[in-house]
């Protein structure tokens, strides 16, 4: 059971040296003679010595681990982001502790407390769709915890942030719908206070306005659980379908909402794209195999994860408090597929 590891003390005893000498020999200090070094190094090698990371952490007052909080890992965008995060973290000798908020503020708070109690060196977070109270994060930040936000950021907290150009992505997607003949474009969105919702709806509204279409505020359905609960999406779509002016297309602001809409529409036997166009943010690599293949706005999730981690490590390893924070904005990609191209119905209108 015990799994007794070799310690520096064991080596010292075996070789008749002091622990300090062994430690210094292993770190290749100049004060140790080449012969002693060789002796120690060979012994360590042969007996497979590895420094105890916990003892090191205690001594150096750092755990070499970073905390990550996302909505859920079973979500392509986040799992891809995590891939990026891990690749950088591991290369720098950090390990990653992942936790999921499942779009719940309470769970996010619990996870945050858990992570900090595990003494992480830094935090990468994309807040839950429910989160509009940032006091805990603020407190953490003020206490000196290095934090990097990505995707769903918090404007009020000044630190590094990594996002995509949500406004532009949404603008392009909405414009695309309009160009394809759709005129009554609804939106199924996350909670209104969420950064991505604000930005994406901003692009959506601007595109409509720029094309001379009115912005139908009643046609924006907010899902406070971000699609985690399908019934919420169902309700939203239902209301849209029974509105006075039934929409002919939907713009969904996140992965779960996009596929959620498709699910509901198919259950209602509503033809996409003929009766209803559908475009949304998504990173699922199955979207092209769906029926119909989905037009999506894709985020460079992996790169975002990499970038966020690099920024975080920079923060962690900086000697003096960082004051100069930056917000990195990457580009989205609009991938046009069948769900927004209703040739027969709209070709003449366009």
Partner DNA sequence: TTTATTTACGCAATCGTTCCCGGTAACGAT
Partner DNA sequence: ATCGTTACCGGGAACGATTGCGTAAATAAA
SS (H, E, C) 183-242: CCEEEEEECCCCHHHHHHHHHHHHHHHHCCCCCCHHHEEEECCCCCCHHHHHHHHHHHHC
Nearest partner of 259 among 237, 288, 219, 227, judged by Cα: 227
Q: Which is nearer to DNA, 36 or 79 (CB)?
A: 36
Residue with the two structure tokens 């719940």: 104
Smallest separation (angstroms) from DNA to the CB of 2: 10
CA distance 191 to 232: 12
Binding residues for a second copy, rule CB under 8 A, total 51
Strands 295-298 and 333-335: antiparallel
- Identify the residue among 209, 218, 286, 331 touching a second copy (CB under 8 A): 286
Backbone angles phi, psi at 186, to 5 degrees: -95, 175
Find the binder of DNA among 3, 28, 59, 321 (CB under 7 A). Answer: 59
Separation of alpha carbons 193 and 224, rounded Å: 10
Which range touches DNA (CB under 7 A), out of 1-9, 139-147, 158-166, 209-217? 1-9
Is there binding between residue 116 and DNA (CB under 7 A)?
no
Q: Which of 14, 58, 110, 267 binds DNA (CB under 7 A)?
A: 58
Judged by CB under 8 A, the residue of 11, 22, 82, 137 near a second copy is 82
Q: What are the φ/ψ torsions at residue 44 (nearest 5 degrees)?
A: -60, -45
Please identify which residue in 76, 126, 129, 339 interacts with a second copy, judged by CB under 8 A: 76
- Site for DNA (CB under 7 A): which residue of 14, 20, 218, 267? 20
Q: Tokens 């002091």 belong to which residue? A: 18
Task: Report the b/e string of 165-178 with b at 16+ CB within 10 A.
Answer: bbbbbbbbbbbbbb
Subset of 61-90 contacting DNA (CB under 7 A): 61
CB 22 to DNA: min, Å: 7
Residue pair 321/315 in contact by the 8 Å Cβ criterion: no
Shortest Cβ 3–a second copy spacing (Å): 4
The closest of 115, 113, 100 to 69, measured between CA atoms, is 100
Please name the residue that has the structure tokens 């830094």.
122
**Count, residues near DNA per rule CB under 7 A:** 30
Which partner from the list DNA, a second copy, none does 32 bind, CB cut-off 5 to 8 Å by kind?
Answer: DNA
- Phi-psi category of 188—alpha, beta or left, where left has phi over 0 and alpha has psi -120 to 50? beta
Binding-site string for a second copy from residue 125 to residue 164, where x marks contact by CB under 8 A and - marks none: ------------------xxxx------------------
Out of 56, 110, 267, 331, the only residue in the binding site for DNA (CB under 7 A) is 56
- Does 14 sit near DNA (CB under 7 A)? no
Contact yes or no for 223/257 (Cβ under 8 A): yes
Residue 59 CB, nearest distance to DNA (Å)?
A: 4
The contact set with a second copy (CB under 8 A) reads 1-3, 5, 50, 52-55, 57-58, 61, 63, 72-74, 76, 79-80, 82-83, 86, 90, 95-100, 114, 117-119, 143-146, 259, 262-263, 266, 284, 286, 289-293, 318, 320-321
Residues within the interface to DNA (CB under 7 A): 5, 7-9, 16-21, 23-24, 26-27, 30-36, 49-52, 55-56, 58-59, 61
């Amino acid at each position: 059971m015990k799994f007794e590891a070799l310690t520096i003390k064991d080596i010292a005893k075996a070789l008749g040296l002091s622990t300090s000498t062994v430690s210094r020999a292993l770190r290749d200090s100049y004060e140790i003679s080449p012969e002693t070094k060789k002796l120690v190094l060979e012994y360590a090698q042969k007996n497979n010595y590895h420094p105890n990371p916990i003892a090191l952490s205690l001594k150096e007052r750092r755990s070499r681990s970073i905390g990550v909080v996302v909505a859920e890992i079973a979500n392509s965008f986040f799992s891809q982001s995590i891939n990026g995060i891990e690749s950088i973290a591991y290369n720098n000798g950090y390990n990653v502790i992942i936790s999921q908020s499942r779009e719940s503020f309470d769970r996010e708070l619990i996870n945050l407390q858990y992570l900090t109690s595990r003494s992480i060196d830094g935090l990468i977070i994309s807040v839950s769709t429910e989160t509009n109270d940032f006091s805990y994060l603020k407190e953490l930040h003020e206490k000196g915890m290095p934090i990097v936000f990505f995707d769903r950021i918090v404007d009020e907290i000044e630190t590094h942030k990594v996002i995509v150009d949500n406004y532009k992505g949404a603008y392009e997607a909405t414009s695309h719908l309009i160009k394809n003949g759709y005129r009554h474009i609804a939106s199924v969105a996350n909670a209104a206070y969420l950064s991505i919702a604000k930005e994406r709806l901003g692009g959506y509204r601007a595109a409509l306005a720029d094309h001379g279409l009115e912005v139908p505020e009643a046609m924006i359905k907010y899902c406070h659980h971000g699609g985690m609960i399908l019934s919420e999406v169902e309700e939203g779509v239902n209301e849209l379908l029974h509105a006075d002016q039934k929409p002919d297309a939907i713009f969904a602001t996140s992965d779960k909402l996009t596929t959620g809409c498709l699910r509901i529409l198919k259950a209602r036997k509503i033809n996409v794209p003929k009766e209803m166009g559908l475009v949304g943010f998504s990173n699922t690599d199955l979207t092209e195999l769906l029926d119909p293949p989905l037009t999506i706005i894709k985020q460079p999730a992996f790169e975002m994860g990499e970038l966020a981690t690099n920024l975080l490590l920079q923060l962690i390893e900086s000697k003096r408090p960082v004051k100069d924070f930056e917000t990195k904005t990457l580009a989205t990609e609009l991938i046009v597929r069948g769900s927004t191209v209703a040739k027969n119905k709209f070709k003449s209108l366009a």
